[in-house]
């Protein structure tokens, strides 16, 4: 990239200080470089010229060559309109202006060849075109412009201040004239040849001024490939550097804790998927490089056992471990589950959350620092500066998309230091990191967001689990649904009934929930039936009390808002009823459904909706009824919602892509990742002369645009 692309936009002909200010504020355009990367949203195909006798009444945009033969002013209810008769060799039509008549009248000449462009209307068998784009045929032919006209992103403010699409096109033309269209190549000759890509200057010219559809397609492919290639290069490089540079704590042995648990205390036979994942983790931990692994598995696939066995490896090597969860409910559940699993092992486990008492905290801090505490489980409270480990070797993060990057980096700094040969203490060595999620992430997204992590997937359920049956029922079938609930309760089962949470109004959520609760209490009267209720406005202690009553089987029905999305584990609950299911996203529906089906009995999920359903809602409900596969559901979700939404806001920065689209261009993404891997396997430091252009581009990107600071 030549340095002049970093020139401030103010210096470009046709811009000036006022327009520059607007472009900066509205579109984030600061330099020539930013402007060249402002890619059009769409294109008007101006490759075709129509004759007046070929016009069709379909209101599409057309362009016609002809002459104005007369003007007349026509009175109307308010003011006048200016009408011109426009003629070509096949017939006549009208051009109409409702404003700006004086200027139009003075600037347009009669009997002179013009090119007009716009939408046509048909009235009383005569075609007209209101406010056409109009320019002299001689200028039209001389302009640096393509036959396909680019339409640029804009805002209301830009339009109001007169920066129309035509002005943007003119500014873009000036940029090409000033730089003479000479833009530095950013990919190696080998990549261009192997992938049949056009050059960078050609791609930039054809994305802004395409001569035809084919040229535009080639330009788009080249620029999308480049954008995705550099993101993948960055992620893979980061992974390689981590493995090389960031020395991991050596876990050289699998010892007594692990073997004792595996041989004598494992509650069930591991599935093949769990065994495979454990092998991957063991090989990471023994490699002397820091582990950074993402463990994906649907609700109930047995991630906890894998996490525990990884923790036992850390303990066998003389290190401590911690497990961090996003909510208190979830961390308490992990704590109870792990204490139960470890009851016959000699391991000290503690729980630290926001509501831990000061005396407990002090005790935990002391036990941690002198190394007597083996495993600490908790929420964000683990990140506090006061929490100091003697030698943290493994950190496990559950549902990590709920934690920001800064929070995760705090864990890194809690690793142990070692004494170096010169007697000084080293900087903290980061613990091994295992990130767990029950939110399946589509492959394309995982490659873009977690491309720097190694990914393990548990893709089979433990034996004895039956697939949950999911059905859709309309509100007017409610009595039948209630009858079904009675039958299930009679069998000794328990039921969840969940109401949506609508952010705008806590009162409204509460009302929905209370209305629902009242009608359920009428149909399921005490003392025969006991009902728990849980919602976001309750105190944590009250919430826990109600959750515990349900978990112990003292209540048969749990009426709740989505608070229970990641909540207690109740194997006896076999029915999940989701009210107003159309208001939930797919991943949320899938998470809620995962609350049942945790025991051996057949479980059911009933999606209740009104009859009014949007197309998207229908797709979501159908998908839920057709499949229990979290990855399939995640792919549909990605198509419906787009990448930013799927990842939650703090991750969405990752996908501020200029031209590529992770969903639509997933095949280009896989292709780009393949080539980035190929390149780095042959030349990990990018030091070969033929890769100099890639290394240079990569460094420039890092310098001028910090596109990498969002990566986990």
- Position 603 pLDDT exceeds 80: yes
- Predicted pLDDT at 709: 37
Question: What integer pLDDT is reported at residue 669 of this predicted model?
Answer: 87
Question: Which of 27-31, 120-124, 680-684 shows the lowest mean pLDDT across its residues?
Answer: 120-124
CATH number 3.90.230.10 is the correct assignment for the domain at 256-419+426-458: no
Q: Which of 651, 238, 676 is nearest to 452 (CA)?
A: 238
pLDDT at 1 over 50: no
Phi, psi for residue 216 in degrees, rounded to 5: -65, -45
Q: What is the mean pLDDT of the chain?
A: 86
301 neighbors 273 (Cβ within 8 angstroms):
yes
Mean pLDDT of 159-175: 91
Least confident range of 19-28, 38-47, 242-251, 703-712: 703-712
Three-state DSSP class for residue 398: strand
Least confident of 87-96, 598-607, 621-630, 652-661: 652-661
List, for residues 351-364, the tens digit of each pLDDT value. Answer: 999 889 999 999 99
What is the per-residue pLDDT for 343? 92
pLDDT band at 654; cut points 50, 70, 90: very low
How distant is the alpha carbon of residue 341 from its chain centre?
Answer: 35
The CATH class of the 47-145 domain is: mainly beta
Instruction: Find the range with the poorest average confidence among 237-246, 381-390, 438-447, 541-550.
Output: 438-447
Instruction: Please provide the CATH number assigned to the domain covering 469-627.
Output: 3.40.50.300
Is it true that 47-145 and 469-627 share their CATH fold?
no
Residue 268 burial (CB < 10 Å; 0-12/13-18/19+)? exposed
Confidence band for 65, pLDDT divided at 50, 70 and 90: very high
Tokens of 531: 């009902």
**What are the backbone angles phi and psi of residue 39, rounded to the nearest 5°?**
-85, 145
pLDDT value at 255 more than 80: yes
Mean pLDDT on 173-191: 93
pLDDT tens profile 383-422: 999 999 999 999 999 876 666 666 767 888 888 887 777 7
DSSP for 550-586? HHTTS-SEEEE-GGGTT----TTEEEEEETTGGGS-H
More reliable by pLDDT, 188 or 666: 188
Q: How far apart are CA 432 and CA 318, in angstroms?
A: 14
Q: What are the two backbone dihedrals, phi and then psi, of residue 590, each rounded to the nearest 5 degrees?
A: -65, -40
Question: Stretch 501-524: mean pLDDT, rounded?
Answer: 74
Q: Render pLDDT for 131-148 as a digit per residue (tens, 0 to 9).
A: 998 999 988 887 755 568
Higher pLDDT, 418 or 375: 375
Q: How many Å apart are CA 142 and CA 148, to the nearest integer?
A: 15
**pLDDT mean over 22-40:** 93
Instruction: Give the domain ranges of the chain.
Output: 47-145, 184-245+678-712, 256-419+426-458, 469-627
Percentage of the chain lying above the pLDDT 70 cut: 90
Take residue 465 and report the two structure tokens written for it.
Answer: 């689990």
2 against 598, higher pLDDT: 598
Q: What does the alpha-carbon distance between residue 125 and residue 149 come to, in Å, rounded to a whole number?
A: 30
Compare 460 and 88 and report the one with higher pLDDT: 88
How high is the pLDDT of residue 708? 38
Q: Is the entire prediction scored with pTM above 0.85?
A: no
Query: Tens digits of per-residue pLDDT, 486-501?
Result: 999 999 999 999 998 6
- State how far the Cα of 683 lies from the Cα of 576, in Å rounded to an integer: 53
DSSP string, 492-561: T-EEEEE----TT-HHHHHHHHHHHHHHHHHHS-TTT--EEEE-TTS-HHHHHHHHHHHHTTS-SEEEE-
Tell me the β-bridge partners of 498: 560, 578
pLDDT digit string (tens) for 293-341?
Answer: 989 887 778 899 999 999 999 999 999 999 999 888 789 889 999 999 9
Which residues are CB-neighbours of 131 under 8 A, at least 6 positions away?
96, 97, 98, 118
Least-confidence region, from 166-170, 432-436, 477-481, 631-635:
631-635
What is 23-40 written as a DSSP string? HHHHH---BHHHHHT---
Distance CA 23, CA 35 (A): 9
């Amino acid at each position: 990239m030549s340095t002049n692309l970093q020139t401030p936009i103010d210096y470009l002909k046709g811009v000036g200080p006022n327009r520059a200010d607007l472009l900066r504020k509205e579109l984030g355009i600061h330099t020539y470089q930013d402007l060249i990367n402002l890619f059009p949203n769409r294109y008007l195909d101006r490759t075709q010229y129509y004759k007046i006798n070929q016009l069709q009444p379909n209101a599409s945009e057309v362009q016609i060559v002809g002459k104005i033969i007369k003007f007349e002013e026509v009175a109307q209810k308010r003011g006048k309109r200016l009408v011109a008769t426009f003629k070509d060799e096949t017939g006549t039509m009208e051009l109409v202006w409702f404003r700006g008549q004086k200027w139009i009248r003075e600037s347009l000449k009669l009997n002179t060849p013009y090119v007009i462009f716009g939408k046509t209307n048909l009235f009383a068998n005569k075609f007209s075109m209101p406010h056409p784009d109009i320019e002299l045929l001689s200028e039209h032919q001389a302009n640096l412009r393509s036959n396909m006209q680019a339409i640029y992103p804009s805002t209301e403010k830009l339009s109001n201040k007169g920066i129309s699409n035509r002005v943007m096109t003119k500014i873009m033309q000036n940029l090409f004239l000033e730089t003479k269209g000479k833009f530095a190549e950013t990919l190696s000759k080998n990549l261009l040849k192997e992938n049949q890509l056009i050059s960078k200057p050609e791609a930039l010219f054809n994305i802004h001024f395409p001569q035809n559809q084919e040229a535009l397609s080639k330009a788009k492919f080249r620029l999308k490939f480049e954008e995705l290639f550099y993101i993948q290069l960055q992620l893979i490089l980061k992974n390689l550097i981590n493995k090389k540079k960031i020395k991991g704590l050596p876990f050289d042995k699998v010892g007594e804790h692990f073997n004792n648990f595996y041989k004598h205390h494992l509650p069930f036979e591991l599935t093949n998927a769990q065994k495979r994942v454990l092998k991957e983790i063991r090989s990471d931990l023994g490699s002397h490089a820091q582990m950074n692994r993402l463990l994906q598995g649907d609700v109930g696939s047995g991630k906890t056992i894998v996490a525990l066995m990884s923790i036992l490896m850390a303990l066998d090597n003389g290190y401590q471990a911690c497990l961090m969860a996003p909510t208190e409910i979830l961390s308490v559940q992990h704590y109870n589950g792990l204490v139960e699993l470890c009851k016959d092992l000699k391991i000290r486990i503690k729980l630290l959350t926001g509501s831990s008492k000061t005396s407990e905290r002090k005790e935990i801090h002391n036990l941690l620092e002198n190394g007597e505490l083996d495993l600490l489980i908790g929420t964000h409270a683990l990140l506090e500066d006061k929490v100091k480990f003697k030698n943290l070797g493994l950190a496990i993060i559950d549902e990590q998309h709920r934690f920001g990057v800064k929070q995760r980096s705090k864990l890194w700094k809690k690793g142990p230091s070692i004494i170096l040969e010169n007697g000084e203490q080293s900087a903290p060595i980061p613990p091994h990191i295992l990130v767990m999620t029950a939110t399946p992430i589509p492959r394309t997204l995982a490659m873009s967001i977690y491309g720097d992590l190694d990914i393990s997937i548990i893709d089979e359920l433990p034996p004895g689990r039956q697939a949950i049956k999911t059905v859709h029922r309309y509100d007017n079938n409610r009595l039948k649904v209630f009858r079904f609930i009675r039958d299930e309760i009679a069998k000794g089962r328990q039921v969840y009934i969940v109401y949506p949470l609508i952010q705008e109004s806590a009162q409204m959520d509460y009302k929905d929930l209370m209305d629902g609760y009242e009608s359920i209490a009428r149909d399921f009267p005490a003392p025969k039936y006991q009902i728990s209720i849980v919602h976001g406005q309750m105190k944590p202690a009250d919430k826990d009390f109600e959750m515990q009553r349900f978990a112990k089987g003292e209540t048969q029905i749990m009426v709740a808002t989505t608070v229970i999305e990641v909540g207690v584990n109740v194997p006896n609950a076999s029915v999940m009823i989701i009210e107003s299911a159309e208001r939930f996203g797919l991943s949320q529906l899938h998470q809620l459904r995962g609350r049942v089906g945790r025991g051996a009995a057949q479980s059911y999920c009933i999606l209740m909706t009104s009859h009014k359903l949007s197309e998207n809602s229908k797709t979501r409900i159908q998908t839920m009824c057709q499949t229990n596969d979290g990855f399939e559901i995640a792919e549909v979700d990605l198509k419906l919602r787009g990448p930013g939404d799927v990842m939650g806001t703090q991750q969405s920065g990752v996908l501020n892509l200029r031209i590529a689209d992770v969903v639509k261009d997933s095949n280009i993404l896989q292709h780009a990742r393949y080539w980035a891997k190929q390149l780095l396997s042959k030349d990990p430091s990018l030091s070969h002369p033929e890769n100099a252009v890639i290394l240079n581009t990569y460094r420039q990107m890092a310098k001028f645009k910090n596109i990498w600071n969002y990566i986990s």
